[in-house]
Structure 1
Amino acid sequence: MGAPLVWINGFPGVGKLTIATALQAIDEHIILIDNHKMIDPVEAKFSRDHPDYQRERRAQREAVFARHVTADDAKDHTIVFTDCQSDNDLGRAVATEYKLAAETAGRDFIPVYLSCDKHENLKRVSSAERVGSKTTKLTSKAILKDILSNNELFRFEGCSSLTLDITQLSPAEAALQIRSHIQKCAGETA
């Protein structure tokens, strides 16, 4: 069995990449793949409403899965993905691609769901660091308010998942809790 695939799902600005980076800092066997490394190349070619946008996004994910999830030389590395998928048809379909990639590679699939207080989330989404990130990350408080009001985060059923409210947690504290959960899951399958 290969090392697990950890899928961190949370709304924009919650702190997925910050926490995943802190997790990678305490575990040298982690390969971190930020969702914007897969989104931004597609957004450079197509707007989100373009008919080919979702097809290109899927092709991008498949290429990353082939390189980092199913490749033999990556089997010893825990693969951590950040993502934002809502509980709708598209979100469920995309999220399921990660789970299927893990299963195909013989990896445990460990979903982690991050949330924080709405006021804090709105503050984080427009932080100077995020605005200056040179990515396509959402930085609009108005759009985030709409997302939070009209969407629920997608959550898998029947998986050894972890849900963290990170409003009061530092990135290092959240990373330690995630690492502990990964170790617990590894112990359950050993």
Structure 2
Amino acid sequence: MSDHAYIYINGYPGVGKLTIARELAKLIPNSRVFDSNLLINPVDAMCDRSAPYYDQLCKDLRMFLLGMLTDRCGDATTFIFTDARSTHGRYCNPAPIYFQAEASNKEEEVPFVSVVLECDLEENIERLISAERVLGYKKLTDCCALKEIREKEDIYHFDEDFELVLNVTHLSPKMAAKKILEHTVKVAQRFYEGEEEPTAT
């Protein structure tokens, strides 16, 4: 894929977003992965998650750093963002809309591709407690917490035709990355051919 894009990968904790994003980056020249935990971990170092100002600190840092990132890292870079945003509850914030707005606010607009990863609960739990994830930087590994999140919170959808909803229960990270790339190429081709891209509602 010669043209660049903003690829936003969203899904419940443990579905494999970061692993798949890294595989996707191998397929796209001049791409960078920006995992949501890069924003959460600095706040965790400053205060407990129970602090009343924790969520606001996460939001403020997210908006500041993403603004710096998209302004100064080059117009030829494809950014692959991972996130776990829901439509309500603690994991709800305006980040998805912000990513899309940043894409359209660039001096030369770039296509925005939304990807929602889905996974069966049993497989989600296995991935959540995998050795690779447990040994990584601070992530959710509490199975009960995951079940509660899945029961009470719905993953954010743009509900537009540029969004790919992909069930990765039985897909390897490489195969999932390939499917995301195929979808991204289609969206980018349509975008650069001059067809107006949908906006979030």
With structure 2 as the length reference, what TM-score do the two structures score? Answer: 0.86
Q: Which residue of 2 aligns with 1:79?
A: 79
TM-score, with structure 1 as normaliser: 0.91
CA contact (8 A) 1:109 1:159 kept: no
After superposition, what is the alpha-carbon deviation per residue over 1:26-58, rounded to whole angstroms, capped at 9, x for unaligned?
222211101111110111112233233233222
Aligned match for 1:168, one of 167, 170, 188: 170
Shift of residue 69, structure 1, vs aligned partner: 1.6
Q: Distance in 2 between matches of 1:159 and 1:64?
A: 29
| Pairwise CA distance, 1:95 | 2.0
**Structure with the larger helix share:** 1
1:3-152 paired onto structure 2 within 5 Å: 3-71=4-72, 73-88=73-88, 91-105=92-106, 106-133=109-136, 135-152=137-154
Structure 2: stretches of 5+ with no match in the other structure: 193-201
1:180 aligned onto 2:182: yes
| RMSD between superposed Cα atoms in Å | 1.7
Q: What corresponds to 2:197 in structure 1?
A: none
> How many residues are treated as equivalent by the alignment?
187
SS of the residue 1:88 aligns to: coil
CA distance in 1, matches of 2:124, 2:183: 24
Alignment gaps of 5+ in structure 1: none
Would you identify which runs of 4 or more consecutive aligned residues in structure 1 move more than 4 Å? none
Distance in 2 separating the partners of 1:104 and 1:117: 36
Cα deviation digits, residues 54-79 of structure 1 (max 9, x gap): 332223223332333233x4210110
Partners in 1 of 2:74 and 2:167 — Cα distance?
31
**Cα contact 1:6–1:78 (8 A) shared by 2:** yes
Q: Tell me which amino acid in the other structure corresponds to 2:11.
A: G
